[in-house]
Structure 1
Amino acid sequence: MRKIILLTAIAGMNFTSLFACEICGGGLGSNYTGLLPNFNKRFVGIRYHFNYVNTQLDVDGKTTALSNKEKYHTAELWSAWNIGSRWRVMAIVPYSHIEKFNYGTDSKSKKDGLGDINLSGYFNLLNKESVFTQSIWVGVGAKLPTGQYNKDEFTNMNSPNIYQLGTGSVDFTGSVNYDIRLNNIGLNTNASYKVNTKNKDDYQYGNKLTLNGSVYYNTALSSDIKLRPNVGLQYENQAKDHTMDYQIDETGGYNTNTNLGLEATLRGVAFGFSYQTPIAQNISKGRTELVNKFLTHLTFTF
């Protein structure tokens, strides 16, 4: 069975992560998937991921009366289908709950709604079994502007425009995934690049590069219960945003995360989780801080 992992379909910029700040927002966060569950033909399931960030920090990265603590909860319906031996299609439909807390006024605000739907297709360029088992998948994806974008949320050119359910734009992603395995130990690497277009309110999020790699180990507790622990790194770099042809300086940046995860399967049911914590970051010139990210799923394979 092929190992295809770490597919970055692009949510608005989810799988995921950078800024200004796509990497952290509900409909804007990077669409990091972690290792996909093992499946033969298709799967469908529910995922939940959580992002926690601090925004509008001072120039030293400390909280002030203007700073916010923002939490992004997203539940997603996700599914992938293999078509023949070389093609795969994947869809992710997110629904987000966002909370914002202001340190200076103790005020709270929140919003809920459908996020940006992601559709992607992949082609199996290489599938080779010898001493090493290897596979290469290439993919393209599109993010649809199904999540609400509120132009009135962007009122400060010195803060990231991330308190949004969606980007309001159609965006595109290309990705390459390479997997190599010797017996039960494997290495999976993925590179993706997302091109963001301008929305109807003349706002354009910066393009984003995502690189990640994970080492995993296949093991079995019994003939029915199989486990795949994994550990790796993820690097994200996002260009600065633009509005009305002006560059927004307090946007863009990079971060590097460590990833720790586990995939478990019991016959046709798969469970997985992935935890990410930053080891280096400079987002929005240090005025946005990514605290942590967590993802889990319950998926049925058939």
Structure 2
Amino acid sequence: MRPSLAYRLLAVLALWLLALAPTRACDLCGCFMGITPYDNQSSLSLMHRYRAFNGYQELGQQHRFFPTGARPFFPGSLQRDTGYKHDHDGSPTDYEVFRVVELRAKYFLAQRLELNAFVPYAMNTSYASGQELTLSGLGDVTVFAGYHVLRAIETAGVQSRLILGGGAKLPTGDYQRRNPLGRRYPTLTQPGTGTTDAFLYLNYIGSFHNLGLSLNTSYRRATRNRFAESTAPSTSTFANLFYRLPLKGNWQLYPSAQFFYEKTKGEMFEGHLTGEHAMNNALLGPGLDIYYKNLSLNASAQLPVYTARTDHPASAGRLVMAVGYSFKQTKYLIKGGNSIVL
């Protein structure tokens, strides 16, 4: 994202979250009332994601997490087109970088029912044959609900949670931007997609004393946009093996090893598979979550351990950073009209 008005508002929100006066977490038998602190509480968070693609595998080129000229956080300008043409001709300097700053909100209507909304600001850069294109703006908003089928968290030693849910990614982002000559920019560089994506997911979180595991898998299908474009059905799986390190003064650390896998057959046009931007990638890397009272800081990075060969730049890595605030929720809107207690 660029330092635009929208981003400044998000930055102010982040500072507000950090300035909120946190309250003491609720303990039971030396454990939080959750598998991780406040994992069953309403919350607000601000997340930054960075994803890079570069290096043509079929030409034996190496990929780099931070390609030369790419910025992990903010592009150099709000919108830049230096004569860009969407042409992957095998240059080792080609890259695609996708950045998202996302406001995330979770609210528990009931002890077992959560509602979520993600509002992203996308910053996409593509560099090909010495020319660069950067487009930024509001992305596609995601809304979904999850039901906690299994909620065995008030047991010392062993705790488990199983969540089933689903939702949709809505076509709120602009996907029709054009160059000065009236030619539409490539679909994947646009802030939005123009499609409505429905998805289902399953999330299991379990722990034994201080050792825990989180597994999340999802399946997604997309509609077509006005240009008859869509993407093939996709699946993704995320696994997080973590360890709890309690410290003095309400501090807790959760170092982790995180695995991410994604697969899709790529883009479709008028319902027919084109194969463009197909992905079959596995990434692995470290993560660290820091909790202080109601505040959380999260950081993780995953590097490729497997990437299927395509004629496009290969997956080079993924970086995630977030700050969040969780509410000490003891009552719920669905029961007697009670809501969050701070």
Distance apart, 1:41 and its partner CA: 3.0
Which residue of structure 2 lines up, in the alignment, with residue 19 of structure 1? Answer: none
Which residue of structure 1 lines up, in the alignment, with residue 131 of structure 2? Answer: 107
**Cα distance 1:40–1:140, how it changes in 2: closer, same or farther (>3 A)?**
closer
CA distance in 2, matches of 1:132, 1:219: 16
Letter in structure 2 aligned against 1:43:
S
Which residue of structure 2 lines up, in the alignment, with residue 289 of structure 1? Answer: 314
Distance apart, 1:125 and its partner CA: 0.3
Distance apart, 1:99 and its partner CA: 2.2
Which residue of structure 2 lines up, in the alignment, with residue 75 of structure 1? Answer: 101
Scaled by the length of structure 2, what TM-score is found?
A: 0.70
CA distance in 2, matches of 1:257, 1:165: 24
Contact 2:35 2:159 in 1 (8 A): no
Which residue of structure 2 lines up, in the alignment, with residue 118 of structure 1? Answer: 142
Scaled by the length of structure 1, what TM-score is found?
A: 0.79
Letter in structure 1 aligned against 2:324:
T
Q: Pairwise mapping of residues 36-75 of structure 1 onto structure 2 (< 5 A)?
A: 38-39=38-39, 41-54=41-54, 57=56, 59-60=58-59, 62=61, 64-65=90-91, 68-75=94-101
SS for the counterpart of 2:188 is: coil
Distance apart, 1:153 and its partner CA: 2.6
Contact 1:127 1:136 in 2 (8 A): yes
Q: Pairwise mapping of residues 52-201 of structure 1 onto structure 2 (< 5 A)?
A: 52-54=52-54, 57=56, 59-60=58-59, 62=61, 64-65=90-91, 68-102=94-128, 104=129, 106-128=130-152, 129=155, 132-150=158-176, 152-154=184-186, 161-201=187-227
SS for the counterpart of 1:169 is: coil
Contact 1:41 1:83 in 2 (8 A): no
CA distance in 1, matches of 2:40, 2:166: 21
Unaligned runs of 5+ in 1: 5-36, 155-160
User: Would you say 1:235 and 2:267 are equivalent positions?
Assistant: no
Distance apart, 1:66 and its partner CA: 9.2
Distance apart, 1:167 and its partner CA: 1.3
Please list the CA deviations of residues 28-61 of structure 1 after superposition, one character each: whole Å capped at 9, or x if unmatched.
xxxxxxxxx6355311121111111127x48435
Distance apart, 1:162 and its partner CA: 2.0
State, as a whole percentage, how many aligned pairs show the same letter.
Answer: 22
Which structure has the greater CA radius of gyration? 2
Distance apart, 1:198 and its partner CA: 1.2
SS for the counterpart of 1:216 is: strand
Task: Could you list the structure 1 runs, at least 4 aligned residues long, displaced by more than 6 angstroms after superposition.
Answer: none
Unaligned runs of 5+ in 2: 1-32, 62-88, 178-183, 328-342
**Cα distance 1:124–1:253, how it changes in 2: closer, same or farther (>3 A)?**
same
CA distance in 1, matches of 2:221, 2:101: 24
User: Would you say 1:212 and 2:244 are equivalent positions?
Assistant: no
Contact 2:258 2:302 in 1 (8 A): no
CA distance in 2, matches of 1:126, 1:39: 14
Give the number of aligned pairs. Answer: 260
**Cα distance 1:223–1:83, how it changes in 2: closer, same or farther (>3 A)?**
farther
- Quote the RMSD (CA, aligned, Å): 2.2
CA distance in 2, matches of 1:139, 1:51: 26
Contact 1:60 1:286 in 2 (8 A): no
